[in-house]
Chain A
């Protein structure tokens, strides 16, 4: 109880200090002399965010970049960590898996989401059907990892199965399978979890975009005698292209950073590790911060083009509007 009061007090104090500082800044900015007031106001409002960005993002990023050229004892070793990354078998497996993830998850999640959105569009019980697919979105990656670990759980053929999939296999007269232990297919079983989560997101965004297609175009296509497939190819897809790209890039960024699913389900064992998981393992468990930083830097470089592309596309769309 005493602890709770302590913590509560700390929160209140923190908020009060924050309010006081903001209040002071506002006051100073407001009372500034007329000339140059605008500049000062802009600076006053931007400064807190910029300072926090510098302290919380820019500086750590620079420090991480420097770290990636050092070894365990903090001595400068040049490109050694990167050499390790692109020559050691276990590091190469990590890169390979990340590539598999990045190709499959956005592709499958978006296409399944899109197909689903098209098929249930204006169907009976659309809301309920949408809710069903959207629900996994509400589950955290760690939660999903735990759930699916139970789905894949293995017990020997002579024991009672506790995993859903293995129970189905047994009912079908098959031997139970160690889903998470057999490389390389285990990576695909992990990827299924991410698709399960992300499909709902893709479906909701794309469904909204489909509903936004002007009826005139749809009517015109129909009058011209376009088949359902032609309509989909030549009307639906081009019209929702913007949303589609946003969905794919968003899921791509999320996939590149995937960590929780892998760590919860296999901890990167059995050749399932991905870059983000390996980064954590090297930096915090193996005591090799340099290698971890190198992996982080490579991950950053992998995400960068997608983010830049995304930002430019959004800007373009604004201009069109």
Chain B
């Protein structure tokens, strides 16, 4: 009897003890970033040294780009003794808020949009003075504004990307005797010329298909046109909803873009009529430029990575790009783009140290020299850039006369910027009038 009874206890107790043992073994994690082992530590002395300090960093950056990012702070990590536990996830946008609510926020979060940072402002620590000073020194006031919520500065910018490049094949232009246009009107003239003279080639190709985000490449077109048509003040008012989305000036910019995108004679080289823009994946839409079926393709700087393996992106190479042109040349260069802001959920000394380092020109140089990224930091050396295009982008960003504006759809409320603006573009290309579309986007703007 006693025997049987003890056996009855045996299984649950055994299972329980096993689980307790195993629990004790859990809870380790985090990867060590590999330092090169022989870093020159004099540059990092000002940050001090730490024992057993760990800072967790969370962001949208994954795969190869994440590796390059980790390499960029490897020396810092080694010299200061701060272990950086990096985690990249495509689910960042939805997860970061969930984590902050659940009390498991990362120490530093790299926000890909100012709007996300603003939504988290209640949980973030205001940026330390050192970071604020570095940003004043290294970035234009526009950039500082993106990390500022209600007058409090939270997040320093990190990397940048710029939109609005128009891709073309230099050899084709040379062979046909076409000049690279310098104003929007010249671009329109060239478009007409190509449409009327070329049999096999249409002037433009475009693709807005991107799964549930279908339409977003079209928002870039519109943003470029608004900024060049009416300047940064109107652009800012448009983003902040101080003027309605169906303001006549915005309608005018829509129509300016529509002259190209809604004209079957001008698009869609290599794919079909104007509406085939919607069924063409954005990543494949540039290919006809290389195949000679279309002359120009409007897409952000990341298009450089979308060309087939071995394509030489250079002024005298297989493919090159000019920046979308000003409507009024006297107004100077204006570009739209995006970037990341680094917000801090903690203010432990080691977190502040890393946050400060990430705001320096040294870090920007360390990251850019690895290739595939640019930054708007003024202390950045363009010569370090990994490609001709990156170098051109950095020079554009650093030029004091350049007006930079963040991608408008990223700044608008989610209901507009990642929903009705996209579907508005889709309906517009699919045949709805500009008035209908701008009106429906305006109606969808959240009241509060």
Seen from chain A, the residues whose Cβ lies within 8 Å of a Cβ on chain B are 6, 9-10, 12-13, 16-17, 19-20, 23-24, 26-27, 30, 71-73, 88-90, 153-159, 176, 178, 180-181, 263, 267-270, 281-282, 284-288
Q: Judging by beta carbons under 8 Å apart, are B278 and A181 in contact?
A: yes
* Known contacts A156-B268, A281-B212, A23 near B12 by CB under 8 Å: yes
Q: Judging by beta carbons under 8 Å apart, are A72 and B446 in contact?
A: yes
Q: Judging by beta carbons under 8 Å apart, are A285 and B448 in contact?
A: no
Q: Judging by beta carbons under 8 Å apart, are B15 and A286 in contact?
A: no
A293 → chain B, closest Cβ, in Å?
15
B344 → chain A, closest Cβ, in Å?
23
Q: Judging by beta carbons under 8 Å apart, are A23 and B11 in contact?
A: yes
A71–B447 alpha-carbon span in the complex (Å):
10
* Known contacts A13-B19, A19-B15, A23-B12, A286 near B272 by CB under 8 Å: no
Which residues of B have CB within 8 Å of A6? 29
Q: Judging by beta carbons under 8 Å apart, are A71 and B211 in contact?
A: no
Total residues of chain B contacting the partner, CB 8 A: 42
Interface check B94, CB cutoff 8 A: yes
* Known contacts A9-B26, A16-B22, A156-B271, A27 near B9 by CB under 8 Å: yes
* Known contacts A20-B12, A23-B12, A267-B214, A73 near B448 by CB under 8 Å: yes
A9–B29 alpha-carbon span in the complex (Å):
13
Which residues of A have CB within 8 Å of B386? none
Interface check B102, CB cutoff 8 A: no
Interface check B279, CB cutoff 8 A: yes
Among B22, B279, B423, B446, which residue has its beta carbon within 8 angstroms of that of A9? Answer: B22
Interface check B8, CB cutoff 8 A: yes
Q: Judging by beta carbons under 8 Å apart, are A180 and B279 in contact?
A: yes
Interface check B141, CB cutoff 8 A: no
Q: Judging by beta carbons under 8 Å apart, are B426 and A16 in contact?
A: no
Interface check B23, CB cutoff 8 A: yes
A158–B276 alpha-carbon span in the complex (Å):
12
- Residue ID in chain A nearest B425 by CB atoms: A269
Q: Judging by beta carbons under 8 Å apart, are B272 and A12 in contact?
A: no
Q: Judging by beta carbons under 8 Å apart, are A263 and B276 in contact?
A: no
Which residues of A have CB within 8 Å of B330? none
A17–B16 alpha-carbon span in the complex (Å):
6
Q: Judging by beta carbons under 8 Å apart, are B272 and A270 in contact?
A: no
Among B19, B271, B278, which residue has its beta carbon within 8 angstroms of that of A16? Answer: B19
Q: Judging by beta carbons under 8 Å apart, are A12 and B15 in contact?
A: no
Interface check B228, CB cutoff 8 A: no
A to B CB contacts below 8 Å, 29 in the list: A6-B29, A13-B18, A13-B19, A13-B22, A16-B16, A17-B15, A17-B19, A19-B15, A20-B12, A23-B15, A27-B8, A30-B8, A155-B271, A157-B272, A181-B430, A267-B214, A269-B214, A269-B278, A269-B423, A269-B427, A270-B427, A270-B430, A281-B212, A285-B414, A285-B418, A286-B414, A286-B415, A286-B419, A288-B446
Among B22, B418, B440, which residue has its beta carbon within 8 angstroms of that of A286? Answer: B418
Interface check B262, CB cutoff 8 A: no
A6–B29 alpha-carbon span in the complex (Å):
9
Interface check B270, CB cutoff 8 A: yes
Q: Judging by beta carbons under 8 Å apart, are A24 and B12 in contact?
A: yes
Per-residue contact bits, chain B 18-35, to A (CB 8 Å; 1 contact, 0 not):
110011011001000000
Q: Judging by beta carbons under 8 Å apart, are B419 and A281 in contact?
A: yes
Interface check B442, CB cutoff 8 A: no
A10–B418 alpha-carbon span in the complex (Å):
37
Interface check B338, CB cutoff 8 A: no
- Residue ID in chain A nearest B9 by CB atoms: A27
Within 8 A of A (CB), among B396-448: 413-415, 418-420, 423, 426-427, 430, 440, 443, 446, 448
B349 → chain A, closest Cβ, in Å?
30
- Residue ID in chain B nearest A155 by CB atoms: B272
A243–B100 alpha-carbon span in the complex (Å):
50
Q: Judging by beta carbons under 8 Å apart, are A12 and B22 in contact?
A: yes
Instruction: Supply 15 further A-B pairs (C-beta < 8 A) apart from A156-B272, A286-B414, A287-B414.
Output: A10-B26, A13-B26, A16-B18, A17-B19, A23-B12, A27-B12, A72-B415, A90-B440, A154-B272, A154-B279, A156-B273, A159-B271, A269-B214, A269-B423, A286-B420
- Residue ID in chain A nearest B272 by CB atoms: A156
A269–B420 alpha-carbon span in the complex (Å):
10
A-B CB proximity, top 5 nearest: A156-B272, A23-B12, A287-B414, A20-B15, A286-B419
A157–B276 alpha-carbon span in the complex (Å):
11
Within 8 A of A (CB), among B170-218: 211-215
Within 8 A of A (CB), among B85-134: 94
Q: Judging by beta carbons under 8 Å apart, are A285 and B272 in contact?
A: no
- Residue ID in chain B nearest A12 by CB atoms: B22
Which residues of B have CB within 8 Å of A154? 272, 276, 279
Which of B271, B272, B420 has the most chain A CB within a 10 Å cutoff?
B272
Q: Judging by beta carbons under 8 Å apart, are B276 and A155 in contact?
A: yes
B422 → chain A, closest Cβ, in Å?
8
- Residue ID in chain B nearest A264 by CB atoms: B211
Which residues of A have CB within 8 Å of B440? 89-90
Interface check B378, CB cutoff 8 A: no
Among A30, A178, A268, A282, which residue has its beta carbon within 8 angstroms of that of B275? Answer: A178
Among A20, A268, A282, A287, which residue has its beta carbon within 8 angstroms of that of B16? Answer: A20
A181 → chain B, closest Cβ, in Å?
6
- Residue ID in chain B nearest A157 by CB atoms: B272
Which residues of A have CB within 8 Å of B430? 181, 270
A269–B268 alpha-carbon span in the complex (Å):
20
A185 → chain B, closest Cβ, in Å?
14
A227 → chain B, closest Cβ, in Å?
50
A205 → chain B, closest Cβ, in Å?
34
A153–B284 alpha-carbon span in the complex (Å):
15
Which residues of A have CB within 8 Å of B271? 155-156, 159
A143 → chain B, closest Cβ, in Å?
15
A284–B414 alpha-carbon span in the complex (Å):
9
A281 → chain B, closest Cβ, in Å?
6
A181–B427 alpha-carbon span in the complex (Å):
10
Which residues of B have CB within 8 Å of A157? 272
A10–B271 alpha-carbon span in the complex (Å):
50
B421 → chain A, closest Cβ, in Å?
11
A285–B8 alpha-carbon span in the complex (Å):
53
Q: Judging by beta carbons under 8 Å apart, are B415 and A288 in contact?
A: yes
Which residues of B have CB within 8 Å of A12? 22
Q: Judging by beta carbons under 8 Å apart, are B448 and A71 in contact?
A: yes
Which residues of A have CB within 8 Å of B279? 153-154, 178, 180-181
B60 → chain A, closest Cβ, in Å?
16
Q: Judging by beta carbons under 8 Å apart, are B276 and A270 in contact?
A: no
Which residues of B have CB within 8 Å of A88? 443
- Residue ID in chain B nearest A10 by CB atoms: B26
- Residue ID in chain B nearest A263 by CB atoms: B212
